[in-house]
Amino acid sequence: MIKFNPKTNKIEGKVKSFNDEGRIEINSDFHLYKSEEDLKALQVSIYVMCGGGMLGRFAMSQPADFYIDDRVGKLPYSKSDIYQVVEVMKAICHHLGKDAHHLPEINFPGCWVF
């Protein structure tokens, strides 16, 4: 699991390797090269990863406060993958000076399929 550390301004932790041969140590500052457009794309991605609805809206507009309640049923993506994207969103918000507790919602014109 990865976490954003605001003191070091880095994303730290371990993730599963692609070939399932262990875990890879992460100590990254790649979020320093991301823009507001990247953040908007991640907001759409996290909305879809949560299956839309109230949980998706919560994740995309309040990543700093986000959690998945134990009562939530099956999700399109694993909880650990969702939490990783949320941590990256928090890091990008910190870099861009955005309030990760109150991000503006993205307009989804004509996307009522969720």
Residues of the chain with pLDDT under 70: 110-114
pLDDT computed for residue 44 by the predictor? 92
pLDDT computed for residue 4 by the predictor? 87
pLDDT computed for residue 113 by the predictor? 57
42/53 Cα distance (integer angstroms): 16
pLDDT computed for residue 30 by the predictor? 78
